[in-house]
Amino acid sequence: MTNAAISPRILDAEGKLCGADPELDKGLLRELFVHMMRVRCVDQRMLKLQRAGRVGFVGSMLGLEAAMIGSAAALEGRDWMWSGLREGGAALMRGLPLSEYIAQMYCNSNDTAKGRQMCNHLQHAASHYPSWSSVIGTQITHGVGAALAAKRRGLDEVHAVYFGDGATSSNGFHSGLNFAAVWKVRCVFLCVDNGWAISVPSKAQTAAPYVDKGKAYGMLAHEVDGNDVLATYQATKSLVERARAESEPALLVLKTYRMLGHSSSDDPSLYRDQAEVDEWAARDPIKRYAGYLTGLGVLGAGEQEEIEAKLLEEIDDEIRTQEAADPMALKTLVEDVYAEVPRHLRRQYNAFIEVAERHGEARPGDGAFPL
Amino acid sequence: MANLTLLQALNDGMKTAMRQDDSVVLFGEDVGLRGGVFLTTEGIQQEFGSERCFDTPLSEDGIVGAAIGMAMNGLRPIAEIQFQDFIFPGFDQIVSEAAKLRYRSGSQYTCPLVIRTPYGGGIRGGLYHSQSGEAYFCHTAGLKVVIPSTPHDAKGLLIASIEDPDPVLFLEPKALYRSVKGEVPEGHYTVDLTTIREVRPGKDVTVFCYGAMVPIAAKAAEQAAEKGIEVNVLDLRTLLPLDEDGVLEYAKRTGRVVVVHEAPRFCGFGGEISAIIAENAIEYMEAPIARVTGFDTPFPNTLEHHYLPDDRRVLDAIEHVHAF
Amino acid sequence: MTMSEPLSVIAPDGATNGYDPGLSEAELLHCYRTMLRVRAFDEICLKLQRSGRIGFSIPNLGIEGTQVGAASAFEKSDWLFPSYRDFGMALYHGITPLEMMHNMYGNAQDTAKGRQMPVHFSFDKPIRFVSISSPIGTHIPQAVGAAYASKLRGEDTVMLASFGDGGTSSLGFHSGLNFAGVWKAPVVFLCQNNGWAISCPVEEQTSSDGFAIKAEAYGMPGVVVDGNDVLAVRKTMLEAVERARSGGGPTLVECKTFRMGGHSTSDDPSRYVPAEQREEWEKKDPVLRFERFLEASGMWKAKDKEPMYSEALDEMSAAASEAEAVPKPGLESIFTDVYAELPPHLRRQGQELFELGKRKGDAAAGDGEFPL
């Protein structure tokens, strides 16, 4: 059942059907498009803010809209999404409020991570979206452990574990996939192969196709065109349903391309050819999908522009709100290290705040902890 | 009350916690049918089944990483690392992940887990079965570091660690696994973390120690008593967060301090104790603080008894600070 | 290129179906004698450990065919990065039992100066048998790095990285094989699948169909061979070594064998290894298998075995007695070799220890002196 349902590609570069028609509901088809557009609009605005010096760091999602939206749309609400570095747009679709997204970019007092992480390291507990780490691959074993916990507790939730091509070399990949296969847990590992780990191309990352790595763990593995939202959705859906029904993990490689640098601090022109970038630009996931939807009559003339304008307005409103928010309270320096702030941290903070007060840098509420 | 070895007390502690709370699971290399390489987990899989006590593939990174995920999703994992010397593939998971998860998520996500691991020398284990790596971990905010030295404390501190809301690295002095015995209450009880245990009262010199150094220091104190020096011996029990007030109070009582640990001296925990006293109570000090520690070398095998602080090195230091 | 059925050469009647191992009679008998010497070293060390003369040993019983077959594929200029259950490779290449016994006793003549546990050998001649580490798999990427250096200098040296079935779950395996695949490094990875990682059986170690298939995750060939057939191991390893030497890149070879003893002298395998599994493997004894070949080739007769084995036992006993008489390393060996030069703080710590010994009257000759 599983293999038959997975087509490596459903839409060609022009957006014409080249695989089995998934026969999805038109409402869902349109929704997927709006979500992809939201990813692109958020990306565009965040990059603009970064260039203007308003936010510190952005990991661009440009080019990856189909990979993240197609895969995450195949999950149920109770499923978990474990993020690598670039799935923030999919988190928005699954319930992360835009306000929290932008607050995190500003690291202001509305940031649920209290400004302790770099920008672009998101989380949203209510939609089962754990806090990202900057460390590569560490989330993979977490996803496996959480999936085992779910299994032991009799829950059928699926854990979608995302990572990039570079993370296949990490400790977490090797132990995570091995443990998952031995333990037979409900994990779908999504390798977003975007061609580059910062400046390291896939040929320098490993000598094998990523999809072959499944064999090392006795695990079912497939590769699909990650710029094809329908192929991505169908493949993920099939593997998620299999994981849920049979409690078997699987690896899905989403072949795509990171159109911009690794982050706003990176200049990809230093290590890759423009010709390669141009080649992938021709396979743009949104253009391709828009072509399909137009042909199907789901997207009318000028509708894409209307959707974009509406999304940008929402985003700009939220940017204005978050920019006006207060900065993070100083006490968060020592809070959340433990459940309770222990005495030595209270003392260290009190010494710090005494100096801050002397220099007139403290605000009301920043005062000392009782000892 | 039962008269148990430290190892039996740990085993009893795990069973007690697992009987009390179904979410407690125990795993690691060879902890199931084999009962652990030291037999610390003997009989646990038999009692609780292979779903709650099980072996893992050979990857410390996988063990710690999976423990974090389990803890995030409602279990209370006890992860065993077979030797502390083998923890370093999981170091990234402990330092980068377990210790920072609560902080970076604003307490939305936490990982109440215990990593149990035998540490320290005294079993002729050479470079890779003897190390005392507590200082690496005490430098990690967000982690708690606990070391018992008696059967009573081993069980009580272990249960307290399992019930603690934060990740705890529970270092077990393997030299004491079978060499110390003591009365252990039956059933559930805890020993509060971040409390110092007074091993022996004394008005002349204060000795701070932990783990396998506690009986060594006690022995040196007995010898000192014969020479008319009354030594106050303190078992720190929790290194992070440390009972700093307790340290200062005991240090001020005598004004003469010796710190003993088997880990290397440089950047060792003794440096922190000394700095705390120097920063806060230097005016009470009658003598320079002395440290008796392992050498700043890798751990040897044949000559390990020279590497490890013994009662004569401790006594020498006691006499030195007393005569100053 | 992965084969699921293990390759074997020696048939039950001792025939090799036309395969020529390319070894002279003397060389074949050296292989056989080495297998007996491994067994004799094992036996003597076990006795020494049981009688409290040495602290620890690692039984090699059952894997002599894998060790000798693999070792025979390497030249003296190649490097062996062994695991702690590989000393047959050292014996094959001419490292003496006495040198090994010095390590078992941790005495002053031990190349590791008594700093390691027993069986953690380190030799640099006549072949490089690289210092053994207790952590699992850490040596795998080291072998790959060494191979890269040789390749960079245009040498044709080949590196062996040897590990067990449990080692495939280690981070070193993952990173080591991955790097080697990318670098086309001249390395042969030898996975000795002996059935058990202490008490963890292979089916709990991984879900893959054997271990050779893991090579596909790193873009290299993987081959399965009958590890109790010394000639099959030699054939396969030789092909892999030649491939590496000629620039063809790394290979993963899985030898299916069985650890007939415990993990170490501190382990009791009867707690977890099913008796019927052990009995089944007893029938596949690699020494008996090789004897059938030697006998069929007219090089050996059953009556030759007893004197050869007892000669090997005598050799090991003599080495043990000699090593036992060598004094312990001097105290200064605690401090030396930490850095190329003895730094001031270690000099001070050493001198304090020596002077304390003198004051207490228990200093020994040879403890050393670090004048300040």
Are A308 and A371 found together in one domain? no
CB distance B126–C345 less than 8 Å? no
Q: Which of B184, B218, B241 is the last residue before a domain boundary?
A: B184
Q: Which of B184, B209, B228 is the last residue before a domain boundary?
A: B184
Res C2: pLDDT? 42
C92 classed as catalytic: no
Instruction: For residue A212, give how far its alpha carbon lies from the nearest alpha carbon of chain C (Å).
Output: 5
Are A115 and A148 found together in one domain? yes
* Token reading at B2: 């039962």
Looking at residue A275, which CATH number applies to its domain? 3.40.50.970
Among the ranges given (A309-318, C138-147, C305-314), the one the predictor scored with the smallest mean pLDDT:
C138-147
- Whether C286 maps to a domain, the answer reads yes
On the question of pLDDT at A366 being above 90, the answer is: no
Name the nearest CA neighbour of C139 among C194, C86, C96, C65: C86
pLDDT tens, residue by residue, B299-323: 888 888 889 999 989 999 999 999 9
What average pLDDT does the structure give for chain C? Answer: 94
CB distance C335–B297 less than 8 Å? yes
Instruction: For residue B192, give how far its alpha carbon lies from the nearest alpha carbon of chain C (Å).
Output: 34
- Percent of chain C residues past pLDDT 90, beyond the cut: 84
C338 lies in which domain range?
330-372
- Whether C1 maps to a domain, the answer reads no
Are B301 and B244 found together in one domain? yes
Are A253 and A340 found together in one domain? no
C chain contacts of residue B55, beta-carbon cutoff 8 Å:
199-200, 204
CA distance B302 to B125: 9
On the question of pLDDT at C44 being above 50, the answer is: yes
Are C215 and C339 found together in one domain? no
Are C221 and C366 found together in one domain? no
> Model confidence at C4, in pLDDT bands (50, 70, 90)?
low
Name the nearest CA neighbour of A212 among A172, A162, A165, A251: A251
Strand B2-5, strand B53-55: pairing: unpaired
**Counted domains in chain B:** 2
Transcribe A204-245 into DSSP letters. Answer: HH-SS-GGGGGGGGT-EEEEEETT-HHHHHHHHHHHHHHHHH
Q: Which of C191, C202, C208, C213 to mutate to test the interface with A (most CBs of A within 10 A)?
A: C208
Q: Residue for token digits 């070391």?
A: B147
- Whether C49 maps to a domain, the answer reads yes
On the question of pLDDT at C9 being above 70, the answer is: yes
Name the nearest CA neighbour of B71 among B105, B38, B47: B105
Q: Which of B116, B150, B184 is the last residue before a domain boundary?
A: B184
Amino acid at A136: I
Give the one of C178, C206, C216 whose C-beta lies nearest to A169's C-beta. Answer: C178
Are A336 and A364 found together in one domain? yes
A355 lies in which domain range?
329-371
- Whether C16 maps to a domain, the answer reads no
Are C237 and C341 found together in one domain? no
Q: Which of A284, A302, A323 is the last residue before a domain boundary?
A: A323
Res B5: pLDDT? 98
Are A293 and A166 found together in one domain? yes
More confident residue, A327 or A37: A37
Instruction: Give catalytic residue positions of B.
Output: 129
- Whether B192 maps to a domain, the answer reads no
Are C206 and C255 found together in one domain? yes
Looking at residue C219, which CATH number applies to its domain? 3.40.50.970
Are B202 and B173 found together in one domain? no
Amino acid at B208: F
On the CB side of A171, how many CA atoms lie within 13 Å of its CA?
23
Are C300 and C224 found together in one domain? yes
Q: Residue for token digits 């783990």?
A: B211
Are B176 and B202 found together in one domain? no
Are A265 and A350 found together in one domain? no
On the question of pLDDT at C1 being above 50, the answer is: no
Are C246 and C348 found together in one domain? no
CA distance B285 to B271: 16
What average pLDDT does the structure give for chain A? Answer: 93
pLDDT tens, residue by residue, B216-235: 999 999 999 999 999 999 99
Question: How confident is the model over A242-247, as a mean pLDDT?
Answer: 98
Are A170 and A293 found together in one domain? yes
Are C355 and C256 found together in one domain? no
Q: Is C245 exposed, middle or buried (0-12, 13-18, 19+ CB in 10 A)?
A: middle
Q: Which of C39, C128, C259, C289 is catalytic?
A: C259
> Model confidence at B152, in pLDDT bands (50, 70, 90)?
very high
Transcribe B62-84 into DSSP letters. Answer: HHHHHHHHHHHTT-EEEEEPS-G
- Whether C9 maps to a domain, the answer reads no
Res C3: pLDDT? 44
pLDDT tens, residue by residue, C286-337: 999 999 999 999 999 999 999 999 999 999 999 999 999 999 999 999 998 9
DSSP code of residue A363: -
Looking at residue B103, which CATH number applies to its domain? 3.40.50.970
**Counted domains in chain C:** 2
Are B303 and B216 found together in one domain? yes
Question: How confident is the model over A110-121, as a mean pLDDT?
Answer: 88
> Model confidence at A371, in pLDDT bands (50, 70, 90)?
confident
On the question of pLDDT at B215 being above 50, the answer is: yes
On the question of pLDDT at A361 being above 60, the answer is: yes
Q: Which of B303, B306, B307 to mutate to test the interface with C (most CBs of C within 10 A)?
A: B303
- Dihedral angle of Cα B6, B12, B18, B20, to the nearest 10 degrees: -120
Taking each helix axis from N to C terminus, what angle separates C97-105 and C302-324, rounded to the nearest 10 degrees? 50
On the question of pLDDT at A2 being above 50, the answer is: no
- Whether B125 maps to a domain, the answer reads yes
Question: How confident is the model over A99-104, as a mean pLDDT?
Answer: 96
CA distance A255 to C115: 51
Are C115 and C216 found together in one domain? yes
Are A215 and A318 found together in one domain? yes
Are A86 and A18 found together in one domain? yes
Are C167 and C82 found together in one domain? yes
More confident residue, B155 or C148: B155
CA distance B319 to B229: 8
Give the one of A146, A337, A344 whose C-beta lies nearest to B103's C-beta. Answer: A337
B109 touches chain C (CB under 8 A): no
Question: How confident is the model over C116-126, as a mean pLDDT?
Answer: 93
Q: Residue for token digits 């990875």?
A: C189
Res C372: pLDDT? 63
C-beta of residue C204 within 8 angstroms of C-beta of residue A181:
no
- Whether C3 maps to a domain, the answer reads no
Instruction: For residue A214, give how far its alpha carbon lies from the nearest alpha carbon of chain C (Å).
Output: 7
CB distance B97–A140 less than 8 Å? no
On the question of pLDDT at C12 being above 90, the answer is: no
Distances (CA, A) of C342 to B72, B307, C4, C332, C335: 48, 17, 54, 11, 7
B304 lies in which domain range?
197-323
Strand B257-264, strand B290-294: pairing: parallel
Res C209: pLDDT? 93
**Counted domains in chain A:** 2
Give the one of A174, A181, A207 whose C-beta lies nearest to C174's C-beta. Answer: A174
Are A311 and A249 found together in one domain? yes
- Whether B85 maps to a domain, the answer reads yes
Question: How confident is the model over C55-65, as a mean pLDDT?
Answer: 95
* Token reading at C259: 């650890």
Are C284 and C361 found together in one domain? no
A chain contacts of residue B76, beta-carbon cutoff 8 Å:
none
Are B202 and B319 found together in one domain? yes
CA distance B318 to C370: 25
* Token reading at B301: 């095998």
pLDDT tens, residue by residue, A119-131: 889 999 999 999 9
Are C104 and C136 found together in one domain? yes
Res B39: pLDDT? 94
Are B114 and B241 found together in one domain? no
Res C250: pLDDT? 98
B244 touches chain A (CB under 8 A): yes
Number of Cβ within a 10 Å radius of residue C216: 21
Are A171 and A210 found together in one domain? yes
pLDDT tens, residue by residue, A53-99: 999 889 999 999 999 999 999 999 999 999 987 899 999 999 999 99
- Whether C237 maps to a domain, the answer reads yes
Are B127 and B44 found together in one domain? yes
Q: Which of B30, B301, B312, B316 to mutate to test the interface with C (most CBs of C within 10 A)?
A: B301
Are B110 and B55 found together in one domain? yes
- Whether C298 maps to a domain, the answer reads yes
On the question of pLDDT at A200 being above 90, the answer is: no
A chain contacts of residue B94, beta-carbon cutoff 8 Å:
none
Question: How confident is the model over B174-201, as a mean pLDDT?
Answer: 97
CB distance C114–B34 less than 8 Å? no
Are C265 and C339 found together in one domain? no
Looking at residue B215, which CATH number applies to its domain? 3.40.50.920
